[in-house]
Amino acid sequence: MGARLTVDELAAAAGMSVRTVRYYAGLGLIPPPERRGRQAYYADLHLARLNLVRALQEHGLSLTAIEDYLARIPAGGDADEVAVRALALTTWSPQPPEVVSRAELEHRAGRALDEQTLDVLAAVGLVDHVDDQFELQPGFDVYVKLLSLDVGIEGITAAGLAVRRHTEALAEELTEIFAQHVVGPYRARSHHTPEEVASFQSTIVQLRQLALEAVVSGFQRAANQVINRSLRGAGG
């Protein structure tokens, strides 16, 4: 059964309010607690499922979509299995996207933004326009700095689209590699000790950081190789 937590302790561990935990319980997102008399106790599985709910919300899923996703996971399943799913889905961004008004967006950018610029920001995946609000994605501040340089909007747009195209392809490939060679072998084992669970979680966190560092250093190395080839070609 694992840890026995009261609803207050569960809410604190999940970083949610008690009201939210009870609401999610009412929706069936977590299984019923163990009852001893009038007291309800929650376990590691409940916490793992709440963490999974948060991970799914961070990816923009509605509660209805989350219900459908969780319905495919046995309610009495293993807490480690649910924890692995949550960890694999946890957003790579250090901060969740910001939601701002048009005035706040322009204040953040430090300049007025015309419709063409907003279309460009949306095209390169840095701003999502929903109703009268804007959701800022990681990289927004860097791109706005590019807009202040003496570079045509066409060139900036082309560069942004190239970055988006190649990084999305790279993310898909790396995610598949992690799933096949890291998550898959771990989930294939029927039982995990607490030490193995902690080690796996640490491994995933470190792999993410190393992957980000490898992407930066790999681009630097590739860019240098392109420059060197160009210089050799020019000298030929």
Give tens-digit pLDDT for 120-151: 888 888 888 877 888 888 888 888 888 778 87
Q: Decide: helix, strand or coil at residue 129.
A: strand
Q: Which amino acid does the sequence have at 64?
A: T
Domain boundary among 165, 200, 223: 165
Whether residues 132 and 157 fall in one domain: yes
Q: How many domains is the chain partitioned into structurally?
A: 3
* Between 104 and 81, residue with greater pLDDT: 104
Task: Name which of 33, 31, 26, 32 is nearest 52 in CA terms.
Answer: 31
Residue pair 14/47 in contact by the 8 Å Cβ criterion: yes
User: Is position 49 within any domain?
Assistant: yes
Residue 32's CATH number: 1.10.1660.10
Interatomic CA distance for residues 176 and 85, integer angstroms? 14
Q: What is the mean pLDDT of residues 162-174?
A: 90
User: Is position 179 within any domain?
Assistant: no
Under DSSP, the state recorded for 189 is: S
Domain boundary among 36, 61, 91: 91
Average model confidence (pLDDT) for the chain? 85
Q: What is the mean pLDDT of residues 193-206?
A: 82
Helices (runs of H) and strands (runs of E) counted in the chain: 11, 5
Radius of gyration for the chain, computed over Cα atoms and rounded to the nearest angstrom: 23
pLDDT band at 235 (very low <50, low <70, confident <90, very high): low
Q: Residues of the chain with pLDDT > 90: what percent?
A: 20
Q: What is the pTM of this model?
A: 0.63
| pLDDT at position 222 | 92
Q: Residues of the chain with pLDDT > 70: what percent?
A: 94
Residue pair 29/67 in contact by the 8 Å Cβ criterion: yes
Whether residues 1 and 50 fall in one domain: yes
User: Is position 137 within any domain?
Assistant: yes
Domain boundary among 35, 66, 91: 91
**Measured CA distances, 229 to 163, 224, 236 (Å):** 21, 9, 11
Whether residues 73 and 111 fall in one domain: no
User: Is position 3 within any domain?
Assistant: yes
Q: Count how many Cα atoms sit within 13 Å of the Cα of residue 150 in the half-sphere of its side chain.
A: 0
Does the structure show a pLDDT above 70 at 95?
A: no
Interatomic CA distance for residues 36 and 23, integer angstroms? 21
Residue pair 13/20 in contact by the 8 Å Cβ criterion: no
Q: What is the mean pLDDT of residues 56-69?
A: 86
- The domain of 145 spans 98-165
Interatomic CA distance for residues 74 and 207, integer angstroms? 29
Whether residues 156 and 194 fall in one domain: no
| pLDDT at position 220 | 94
Whether residues 140 and 160 fall in one domain: yes
Does the structure show a pLDDT above 90 at 221?
A: yes
pLDDT band at 236 (very low <50, low <70, confident <90, very high): low
Q: What confidence tens digit (pLDDT) does each residue in 1-42 have?
A: 456 889 999 999 999 999 999 999 999 898 888 888 888 899
pLDDT band at 165 (very low <50, low <70, confident <90, very high): very high
pLDDT band at 166 (very low <50, low <70, confident <90, very high): very high
Task: Name which of 75, 59, 63, 60 is nearest 20 in CA terms.
Answer: 63
Whether residues 87 and 103 fall in one domain: no
Whether residues 102 and 157 fall in one domain: yes
